[in-house]
Amino acid sequence: MNKKPFLIIVLLLVVVSFLAGSRLAQRGQGQRVLGSQKTTPTPKVEGAGSSGGYSFTPKTKSAKPEVKFFVMSFCPFGNQAEAGLKPVYQLLKDKVKWSPRYIFSPITQATVDQCKGNCAYRVADDNAKKQCQQAIDQKQLPQGMTVENCVQAYFPYKTKEDCIQRECQTLKIGAYDSLHGQQEFNQDIREICAYNLGNLEKWWKFVSLVNEKCSSTNADNCWRPLADQAGLDAGEIASCEKSQVNLLAKKEVEESQKYNVSGSPTVYINDTLYEGGRSPEDYKKAICSAFENPPTECQTVLGKESAPSSGGCN
């Protein structure tokens, strides 16, 4: 959300009762769903792709499975999925086609109105601290994040009016946005540009560094030295961001619509929706089940499996 309704779903989705709701249930319809949380039934365990009580069976198997993972750069649940997928990438490398996608939405008048309504939930007050503590207790935020860090990242405003002025008044109807604001939108575009440079190893390093060191309130000033540290050409990324922003955002919106995606993270393996756990072992088992002939690397155990996770940013 280009300065917009970043429904703090980020956090709110973590807690059993969320104060702020998911922005537009169906992006662009202007419909606000309070207390929205995705839940997934738990199927019986069976087959190579099962984990934590969840069974994954791909529609098709292939010589080189494709993993599409739809995220937002500062959704903690999306970051959790990336952290789970990275060790699998490091294990399987180019034996898998890795396709990160980013979730945007067109800005409408409903978006602007929604932004103003959600600003009440972006204020750093006692309730924000309570929600952050609950999220940390439930281990739904990045490891090591403190209540103070959480409040700074997801409740960055002193007043509702401050939020409206900084996040809503600059929204341009007809443009695109990302759930957690303009700087998340910018970072999403930069990560697409970095991916398009063609070096996945450097892309993963860049994204991991940004997840660790940046936030939706400082990304525009934070990303460049991290791109350099990852071995990427920051100037090339900046040039791409400036010249291709609308084209790239439009392409991501079309891809999200094609797969009916509105929440981060959403993972597809060989065009089959994956709804299991987010540990490296969970992802590895599911991905390896999509090979026609699984490579020997699939025998490597990447830690423990986990129960299916329902947290996400919508």
pLDDT per position as a tens digit, 232-255 = 999 999 999 999 999 999 999 999
Identify the band that residue 31 occupies on the pLDDT scale cut at 50, 70 and 90: very low
DSSP-derived secondary structure for 96-157: SEEEEEE--EE--HHHHHHHHHHGGGSB-SHHHHHHHHHHHHTT-S-TT--HHHHHHHH--B
Of 198, 139, 166, 155, give the one whose Cα is nearest residue 20.
Answer: 155
The structural domains of the chain, with segments of one domain joined by +, span 1-39+105-177, 40-103+183-304
pLDDT, tens digit, 9 for 90 and up, residues 134-178: 888 887 777 788 999 889 888 989 999 999 988 888 888 888 989
Using alpha carbons only, what angle is made at residue 116 by residues 115 and 118, rounded to the nearest 5 degrees?
Answer: 65
* Distances from the Cα of 132 to the Cα of 19, 38, 135, 154, angstroms: 12, 19, 5, 9
pLDDT, tens digit, 9 for 90 and up, residues 32-86: 222 223 322 222 223 344 445 688 999 999 999 999 999 999 999 999 999 999 9
For domain 40-103+183-304, the CATH class is alpha beta
Question: Phi/psi class of residue 273: alpha, beta or left (left: φ > 0; alpha: ψ in -120 to 50)?
Answer: beta
